[in-house]
Chains A and B, each alone.
Chain A
Amino acid sequence: MAVVGCEGIDCTLDNVVALNVGLYDSSTGAAIALSDTLTVTAAGTDSVIYNRGVNTSKLQLPMSYWGDADTLCLRVYGKDYAFEDVITIRKTNTVHYESPDCATTMFHTIEGVTWVSALKTIDSVVVCKPSVNYEKKENIRIYYHTADSDQ
């Protein structure tokens, strides 16, 4: 038997599942902010998942619920130039629920990352925390060649 009374709904308030990306300088290893405009799109969806960010140093990107890999196009453009890098993230997906009243969502585990950088703007991509869940910890780091590192 149970006491009949008020019934609260205990859902996690900060319930956004996102891939947390940090941008870094390949030569110094320091965090950087891209002074150019950055837009991120993903294969398989028309949605722009990050739109026209300026001075971007961190990104929070959604991941697909069912795909085994997400392909992200990072387009950087300035006044008279533009370049595009492609990062592919292989992953597994795990359903996560808390209560019938709370939104059901998907957690992910990153298994590996590959990238294509035509202009060699990306030096490397490193997975630092494979679990993508409610925690806002950095999952991957993108190391860019910057003007400073090219000198």
Chain B
Amino acid sequence: MRRRRTSGYITILLIVINSLGARAQESDTVRTALRDIEQALVKPKANLVSGVSVRADLLGLFMYAAGSRFSNMECGAKLSFRDKYFPLVELGIGRGKREGQDNDNAFETTAPFFRVGMDYNFGKPTSMNRILGGVRYGWSVFNYDFTCPTFTDPVWGTTKPLALESQDGSAHWLEFVVGLQTKLVSFLHLGWDIRFKARMKQKTSDYGQPWYIPGYGRNSGTMWGGTVNLVFDIETKWTKKDKHKTASK
């Protein structure tokens, strides 16, 4: 109700200023005033291609530096369509290293991974904050090692070191993502997301499956994950500025 009343006042103001402008034979002063008012009234609308952004995951790097058993160091790029739809690609290096708690088993792999997908901004377009939901399809092709230097037959008592190196593995999975992103300064944004991952298909060696899948996490049917991102977001100009050009003609 209040908004409708305000709009009415502004419309009257526009008419008055417009007639004043006519009397003043479209003087520069009036033209500028008109432009300012119109700028205040026109709802910002993002361009079709309204920006591009690249991001780096800080948490993966932190986990790697902290010596975590596994870490996904990743970055990504996405296009912005009307600040609502964000087709994207993500790639990174996954590293998993694990030793058995009560035995001498050891697992290790380091390999690249890839994801493609789409985010949707549930927040207001052109706002400083984005509320994102999306989906990813991820895959990784990798080699993994499994060793046990003290592999012993408990009945016959024979010990032979086990060294299963460079076993072929691959995995495909889906990720469902929710996250937030906010503007810090200029083109610098900070964001985080939480991901529910569901493994679709995997190929493992005849001896056993990998303990960790690069880009996915610990190898199980489903898995939780997430990222904390530093985002460099370059936006194109909003459509309303184009309208000024039209108005100024």
Q: Which A residues are within 8 Å of any B CB, using their own CB?
A: 1-4, 7, 9-10, 42, 44-45, 47, 49, 62, 64-67, 94-104, 106
7 A–B contact pairs at CB < 8 A? Answer: A1-B63, A1-B74, A1-B227, A2-B217, A45-B155, A99-B100, A99-B105
Q: A97 and B207: CB pair below 8 A? A: yes
Q: A66 and B162: CB pair below 8 A? A: no
- Chain A residue nearest to B106 in the complex (CB): A100
Q: B102 and A67: CB pair below 8 A? A: no
**Quick one: which of B102, B160, B226 contacts A1, CB cutoff 8 A?**
B226
**Quick one: which of B57, B98, B160, B227 contacts A100, CB cutoff 8 A?**
B98
Q: Is B103 an interface residue (CB 8 A)?
A: yes
Extra inter-chain contacts (13) besides given A1-B60, A2-B226, A101-B105, CB under 8 Å:
A1-B74, A45-B155, A62-B154, A64-B158, A65-B151, A65-B158, A95-B151, A95-B208, A99-B100, A99-B211, A100-B100, A100-B146, A101-B100
Q: A2 and B207: CB pair below 8 A? A: no
Interface residues on B, range: 35 or more
Q: Which B residues are within 8 Å of any A CB, using their own CB?
A: 57, 59-60, 63, 68, 70-72, 74, 98-103, 105-107, 146, 148, 151, 153-158, 160, 162, 164, 206-209, 211, 217-218, 220, 223-228
Kindly name the residue among B155, B207, B208, B223 whose own CB sees the greatest number of chain A CB atoms within 10 A: B155
Q: B208 and A97: CB pair below 8 A? A: yes
**Chain B residues whose CB sits within 8 angstroms of the CB of A99 once the complex forms:** 100, 105, 107, 211
| Alpha-carbon distance A95/B71, docked complex (angstroms) | 28
**Chain A residues whose CB sits within 8 angstroms of the CB of B157 once the complex forms:** 45
